[in-house]
A and B are shown apart, each in its own frame.
Chain A
Amino acid sequence: MKDLISIAWRNIWRNKRRTAITIASIFFAVFFALIMRSMQLGTYGHMIDQSIEKFSGYLQVQNPEYFDDPSLDNYLDYSGELIQTIQQTEGISIAVPRIEAFVLASSGHQSKGVMVTGIDPVQELQVSNPEHLLVKYRLTPEIVTKIMHETTFDKKQIELLKFNETGLYHNLDRLALDLGLKPEDFEKYHPVFETHASYSGQYLKPDDDGVLVSSRLANYLQVDVGDSIILMGQGKFGATAAGIFPVKGLVKILSPDLDNKLVYMALPLAQDFLNMPNNLTCLVMNLTNNDQLIEVQKRLTSNLDPNKFVVKNWKEINPILEQQIQSDNKSGQMFLGILYFIIFFGIIGTVLMMIAERKREFGVMVAIGMRKSKLILILVIEMLFIGIIGTALGMMAVAPLVYYYNFHPYRFTGEMAKMYEDMGMDALMPAAGFDAYFAWQALIILLMVFLACYIPLRRIRKMKVMNALRA
Chain B
Amino acid sequence: MKVIEINKLNKIYNESEVKVHAVNNVTFDIEEGEFTAIVGPSGSGKTTLLNMIGGLDIPTSGEVMVGGSLMSSLKGADLTDFRLHNIGFVFQAYNLIPVLSAKENTEFVMRLQGKSKKVCDARTKELLKAVGLGERMNARPAKLSGGQQQRVAVARALASKPKFVLADEPTANLDSKSTETLLDIMEKLNREENITFIFSTHDARVVKKARRVITLEDGKILSDVRKNGGE
User: Do A and B interact?
Assistant: yes
A residues adjacent to B (C-beta < 8 A): 3, 7, 10-11, 14, 360-361, 364-374, 465-466, 469
**Which positions 62-114 of chain B face chain A at CB distance < 8 Å?**
77, 80-81, 83-85, 87-89, 91, 94-95, 97-100, 108-109, 111-113
Q: How many A-B residue pairs have CB under 8 A?
A: 59
Whether the pair B77, A372 counts as a contact (CB closer than 8 A) is yes
Task: Find chain A residues with CB under 8 A from B222 CB.
Answer: none
Whether the pair B83, A371 counts as a contact (CB closer than 8 A) is no
Whether the pair B77, A368 counts as a contact (CB closer than 8 A) is no
Task: Find chain A residues with CB under 8 A from B56 CB.
Answer: 367, 465-466, 469
Whether the pair A372, B80 counts as a contact (CB closer than 8 A) is yes
Whether the pair B51, A369 counts as a contact (CB closer than 8 A) is no
CA distance A373 to B81 in the complex (A): 12
Whether the pair B77, A373 counts as a contact (CB closer than 8 A) is yes
CA distance A258 to B87 in the complex (A): 84
Whether the pair B57, A3 counts as a contact (CB closer than 8 A) is no
Shortest beta-carbon distance, B140 to chain A, in Å?
9
Q: Check A14/B108 contact, CB under 8 A, given A364-B91, A372-B80.
A: no
Task: Indicate with 1 or 0, residue by residue over B140-164, a CB within 8 angstroms of chain A CB atoms.
Answer: 0000000000000000110000000
Whether the pair B89, A361 counts as a contact (CB closer than 8 A) is no
* Contact residue among B57, B77, B89, B98 (Cβ-Cβ distance under 8 Å from A371): B77
Most interface-central of B56, B77, B98, B113 (chain A CB within 10 A): B56
* Contact residue among B94, B99, B111, B113 (Cβ-Cβ distance under 8 Å from A14): B99
Q: Check A7/B99 contact, CB under 8 A, given A364-B91, A371-B80.
A: yes
* B45 interface residue per 8 A CB criterion: no
Whether the pair B99, A368 counts as a contact (CB closer than 8 A) is no
CA distance A10 to B141 in the complex (A): 14
Shortest beta-carbon distance, A264 to chain B, in Å?
74
* Contact residue among B80, B99, B156 (Cβ-Cβ distance under 8 Å from A10): B99
* B33 interface residue per 8 A CB criterion: no
CA distance A372 to B77 in the complex (A): 8
**Which positions 41-58 of chain B face chain A at CB distance < 8 Å?**
51, 54, 56-57
Q: Check A365/B97 contact, CB under 8 A, given A3-B111, A372-B77, A466-B56.
A: yes
Whether the pair A361, B80 counts as a contact (CB closer than 8 A) is no
B residues adjacent to A (C-beta < 8 A): 51, 54, 56-57, 77, 80-81, 83-85, 87-89, 91, 94-95, 97-100, 108-109, 111-113, 156-157
Shortest beta-carbon distance, A371 to chain B, in Å?
5
* Contact residue among A3, A14, A368, A372 (Cβ-Cβ distance under 8 Å from B89): A368
CA distance A370 to B111 in the complex (A): 10
CA distance A466 to B97 in the complex (A): 18
Task: Find chain A residues with CB under 8 A from B111 CB.
Answer: 3
Whether the pair B77, A369 counts as a contact (CB closer than 8 A) is no
CA distance A41 to B81 in the complex (A): 53
CA distance A365 to B99 in the complex (A): 13
Q: Which residue in chain A gives the minimum CB-CB distance to B54?
A: A367
Lowest 3 CB-CB distances: which A-B pairs, in order? A369-B84, A10-B99, A369-B83
Shortest beta-carbon distance, B101 to chain A, in Å?
10
Q: Check A368/B108 contact, CB under 8 A, given A373-B77, A466-B57, A469-B91.
A: yes
Task: Find chain B residues with CB under 8 A from A7 CB.
Answer: 97, 99-100
* Contact residue among A361, A369, A374, A465 (Cβ-Cβ distance under 8 Å from B109): A369
CA distance A360 to B156 in the complex (A): 17
Shortest beta-carbon distance, B117 to chain A, in Å?
10
* Contact residue among A3, A360, A370 (Cβ-Cβ distance under 8 Å from B80): A370
- 24 sampled A-B residue pairs with Cβ under 8 A: A7-B97, A7-B100, A10-B99, A10-B100, A11-B99, A14-B98, A361-B94, A364-B91, A367-B54, A367-B56, A368-B83, A368-B108, A368-B156, A369-B81, A369-B85, A369-B109, A369-B112, A369-B113, A372-B77, A372-B80, A373-B77, A374-B112, A465-B56, A469-B91
